Chains A and B, each alone.
Chain A
Amino acid sequence: MRSPLTRRDAAVGAVLAAIHLTLLASTLDIGFSRDESFYFDAAEQYSAWYDVLLANPGSAFSKDSVDRYFAYNAEHPALPKMLFGASWRLFGKMHDPTEEPFSRGWYFQGKPPATILGWFSESTAMRLPALLLASFLVFAVYLFGVEFLGRRAALFAALAWMFQPHAFWHSHFACFDVPVTALWFLMAWTFLKSMPPPGEPRLRSHAMWALLTGVLMGLALNTKHNAFFFPPMAVLWWVLAKRREFGISLQGAGLKVRIPPIPLAFFAMLLVTPVVYWALWPRLWHDPISHLKWYFSFHAKHEYYWVYYFATLYTKPPFPLGFPFVMSAMTIPGTTVLLFLAGALRLSKEYLVRLGARFSDSLSTVSSHLPSREPGVVLFIFLNFLVPFLVIAHPQVPHFGGTKHWLHGVTFACLMAGVGFELLLDGCRDLADRIGGIFRTRRVRIAGASLILALFVGPAAWDTMTDTADGSSYYNAFAGGRAAMGEMGMQREFWGNSAFSALPWINQNLPPGSRVDFHDTTWGAVQMYRRDGFLRRDITPVWDYKSADAFLFHWHKEFTDIEADARSFYKSAVPGFVWAPGGVPLLDAWVKTSARNLGKTP
C-alpha cells in the first residue's frame, strides 16, 4: 500500500540528489556531443530574445521577434534551450571582447553578452538546468520508491539510477534526454498520486496532483516528443488496472455501461497541458497548426542513423527488435541488471500468485503472505518501463543515439531492480535467521544489509565514476567490458564527443596554426571548446582531411572508408594518437607527413 512520505524520507532523497549533483559537477570534463552543440547554439540565439523582452516586452511576442530568435532548431520545443540560454546569460563567464577581440566571432550576435554573475564556464552554465533536473530526478525516484515500494527498494532504485555510466554521461548535457526522463518520471508520479487508493474517496489533494500532472505533461512535451507516449500508456494502464470495474449489462430496454471514475489527470492533460504546451513554445504562438504539422512530419520522417550491432551495420529498416533490451542488458552495470531480473521475477510471481488465488485456496494462503502493494502500481511501473523500450524496439523506428532514447523507461527498471534488492535482503535475513546467534542482532543485520548494498552498488559506482568522459562507450563486465565493442562488433561512439579526449594532444603537439579535421565533431562543439579554453585558439577547424594537417577519426563502422582514404592521403600506416579507454580505440588521430612536428609545443 501507499506509504506516507516523511520529512526523513525527503531528507534522504535530498541527500541522494545532492550527492548526485556533486558527482555530476565533479565530472564536467566531458566532451560536447553533436546534439548538445546544436542546443548550445540554439540556447544562445533564444537568449537574445530575453533582451527584447526586457527592453520592449510588447514587441517580444510579435511574430517577427519569434521568427528572428526562435527560428533555429525548431524541430524541438524551445523550453530546455530557453532555460539553458537563461542560465548561460545569468551564470556564464563570457569573454571580454575588448581584451579578446577575436572572441567576437564566436558569438551569435557578433559579440558576447555582458557577464552577469560569471560563476561558471559557458558550457557549464548552459548545462546547469539539466544537471539540476537530473539531480532532482534522483530525489523523485527515491520518494516514488518509498511511497509505492518501500524504503529498501527505493534506496537501491535511486542508487541504481545514479550509477549508470550511460545515463550519468547523458545527465551532464544541455540536451533533452535526461530532462524528459525526469519530467516523464515526475508526471508518472503525480499521475499515480492523483489516483485515490482503491476504496478511498477522491480528495482535493488528488485534484491538485491531477492538475500538476497536466502542467508536468505540458513541460515534458515542451522538452521532447517522447512525452506524447505517456497519455496512451496511462489510458492503457487505467483500462487494464480497472478492467473489473468496466461492464455492460442489459437494463430494461437499453444497455447500461459501467465505467470506473475517469482519472482527473486525463482532464488535466486535455485542458491544462495544451495551454502549457502552447504558452512555452514561442513557435506555436502565431501559427500553431502549421508548425505542429511540420514538427510531426519532421519526426515521422526522421532520417535513419546507422547502428553497428553485433558486427552488422544497420543502415535502414528493419532494425533489430531486441536492440533496446539487449543494449540495456549490456550497458547497465551487471549488478543492477541482476537485481532487475530478480525484481521482475518477484513481481511476476506475485502477479501469478494473486491471479491464482482467485481459483485456489492454497494460493490464496500464499497470497496473504505477499508484500502488500497497491493494486495497479506494479502494472504502472511495468508499463512505464516497457513502453519506452517498445517504442524504440519497433523495427521501423530509427535506432540512432545509442541508449538515450529509452532512458525514461530505465528509471522504472531501476524501481524493479529495487524490488530485486528487497528480495535479496529478504533471503539474507532468512539465512541469518537460520544461522541464528549474533546474526539475529539488529546491528549485524544492518551491517550485513550495508555490505549487500555495497556489493551491488559498488561495482556500478566504480563503472560510472571511471572513464566518465566516455560513458556512452561503456559495456558491462558480463558483456565483456568495453572490449565488447571490438569483440562483438558493437557501436563504440555515438555523438562526436571523443574529440574532447584528443584536445590535450592537439594543444601539446600540433604546430601553431595547424588545421584539424574534427570529423564527427560539430562546428558548434569546436567553438565551445575554444570558448571554454579547451582548445588552442590558433587551431583552425576544417571538415576536409585533405586540407587539414590532422584528422580526428571517430571510430564508427560507417566511417572506416574515410579513415582508409585519409590514411592513404596522409601516407601513414599508423595514427599519431589513439584514444582508447578500456583498450578499445574510439578515436584515431592521423597526422599529415608535413605536420609531423610532434612534441613541439607552440
Chain B
Amino acid sequence: MTGPVTRIALSSILVAAALAYIGMAAVQRANVPDEASWEQAASTVRAGWKEGDLVVFWPAWAHAGAAGFQGLAVDIAELPDWYEAAKHPRVWVVASPSGKEPELPGGWHAVSRTEAGRITVHMWTPGELVLAWDGLQSLKDAKVSRGDGEKRQGCSTWQDGKWHCGAQHPWQNVGRISRDIAGRVRDVIWAHARDNSEPLEIRWAGVSAGRTLTVNVGLTQRAIEQVTGSPVEFEVRVGDRVEISRSIDINEAGWFRYDIDVSNLGPVDVTVRIVAKKNQDRQLCFTADMWR
C-alpha cells in the first residue's frame, strides 16, 4: 500500500515543507526591525513633525520601537482606528515588517514614503472632512441629567473631567476614559447606564454646524464578558428628531458607527439618552463628532 513511490513522494513533500519552513522563518526574522531601523524611523518622523500630527504603527500592534517617539502624539493600541486618526491633519504611519505595505484607508492621501532600514515611514493625510466639533473634548459643555419629567435631576458636579449626579461616584458618572472596546483601547465618553430604566441624558446645545454627525457606541470589553444587567437602549436626537435608536445586547461586542446627515441644519442640539432595566456592568461608552 505504501510502496516506494508513495514513500518517496511523501518524503519529498516533507523535505519541501521543511525547506519552506526554514525559508519562512528566515524571512520572518529578517523582517523584524532592528534598533537602527527604529532610530532612523523616529528621526524621519521628528524631522517632518508638525503640531497636531499623529504617529501610528502598522501593524498597529508593532510598537516595539515606540520609546523612540517620546514627546510625540502616538497611538499604540492593538488595532488601527483610522476614524480617530482622521481627527489629525497628518498621520505618520511607521510600518514594519518591511515588504508589507500599509493599506491606505479610503479617501486618504499618501503624501510621502521614506525607507528607514527595515521600516517604511509613510505620511498620510485624511480625507476632505474636517472635524468641527468633538463631543469628548466638549464634554464640559454638556448638560448631563438623570430621570425624566419632574424626576429629572441635573448632574452638575464636574470633577476630574467627569459629570456626577450629586456626590462623586466611581462609575455612575459621565466622563472621559480610555477603555478596551471592540478589540482596542479607545478614548471615549463613559456613560454607565443607570438602574431601573432611569434615563441618563447628555445634551450639547448649539453644536457647530457641519455636514455629518458621527456617533460611535459600544459596550466595554469588561461589560460584554459578563452575563449581568439587561440590554441598553441607546438613542441620539438631533434637535427633536430621533436619529439613532438602538438596543445593545449584554454580550454584544462592537464599536458601532452611525453617520447622520446634518448638512444645511446649522448649529444643532445633540442629545444622547441611555436606558437600561438592569444596569449591572452596563458600561456603555460613545463618542460624537461633527464633521464639516
Instruction: Check B12 against A564 for contact (C-beta < 8 Å).
Output: no
Residue from B32, B63, B221 within 8 A of A578 (CB atoms): B63
Interface 9-mer from B3-11, B140-148, B151-159, B272-280 = B3-11
**Contact of A456 with B4 at beta-carbon distance under 8 Å, contacts A477-B25, A578-B63, A578-B65 already known:** no
Taking CB atoms, residues of chain B closer than 8 Å to A487 are 59, 61
B20-49 residues at the A interface, CB under 8 angstroms:
21-22, 24-25, 28-29, 31-33
Interface size class of B (residues with CB under 8 A): 35 or more
Residue from B8, B31, B63, B97 within 8 A of A434 (CB atoms): B8
Taking CB atoms, residues of chain B closer than 8 Å to A574 are 66-67, 69-72, 74, 76
Minimum C-beta distance from A486 to chain B (A):
3
Minimum C-beta distance from B27 to chain A (A):
9
Q: A476-500 interface mask toward B, CB cutoff 8 Å, 1 = contact, 0 = none?
A: 1110110101110100000000000
Instruction: Check A583 against B96 for contact (C-beta < 8 Å).
Output: yes
Taking CB atoms, residues of chain A closer than 8 Å to B67 are 574-578
The DSSP consensus for interface residues of chain A is helix
Taking CB atoms, residues of chain B closer than 8 Å to A459 are 18, 21-22, 25
Taking CB atoms, residues of chain A closer than 8 Å to B74 are 573-574
Instruction: Check A456 against B64 for contact (C-beta < 8 Å).
Output: no
Q: Does A211 contact B (CB under 8 A)?
A: no
Residue from B8, B21, B32, B179 within 8 A of A477 (CB atoms): B21
Q: Does A284 contact B (CB under 8 A)?
A: no
Minimum C-beta distance from B99 to chain A (A):
13
Instruction: Check A481 against B18 for contact (C-beta < 8 Å).
Output: no
Q: A420-456 interface mask toward B, CB cutoff 8 Å, 1 = contact, 0 = none?
A: 1001101110110110000000000000000010011
A291-318 residues at the B interface, CB under 8 angstroms:
311, 313, 315-316
Closest chain A residue to B183, Cβ basis? A311
**Contact of A568 with B178 at beta-carbon distance under 8 Å, contacts A311-B183, A574-B67 already known:** yes
Q: Does A563 contact B (CB under 8 A)?
A: yes
Minimum C-beta distance from A308 to chain B (A):
10
Q: A135-158 interface mask toward B, CB cutoff 8 Å, 1 = contact, 0 = none?
A: 000000000000000000000000
Q: A503-546 interface mask toward B, CB cutoff 8 Å, 1 = contact, 0 = none?
A: 00000000000000000000000000000000000000000000
Question: How far is it, in angstroms, between the C-alpha of A349 and the C-alpha of B76 when the chains are bound?
Answer: 50
Minimum C-beta distance from B221 to chain A (A):
7
Closest chain A residue to B54, Cβ basis? A573
Q: Does A580 contact B (CB under 8 A)?
A: yes
Q: Does A82 contact B (CB under 8 A)?
A: no
Please list 28 pairs of residues, one from A and one from B, whose beta carbons are closer than 8 Å in the complex, sorted by A's number.
A334-B17, A334-B24, A426-B7, A427-B12, A430-B11, A431-B12, A433-B4, A452-B15, A455-B19, A477-B24, A481-B24, A483-B97, A486-B61, A561-B179, A563-B185, A564-B178, A573-B74, A574-B71, A576-B67, A576-B70, A577-B67, A578-B64, A580-B64, A583-B62, A583-B64, A583-B96, A584-B62, A588-B66
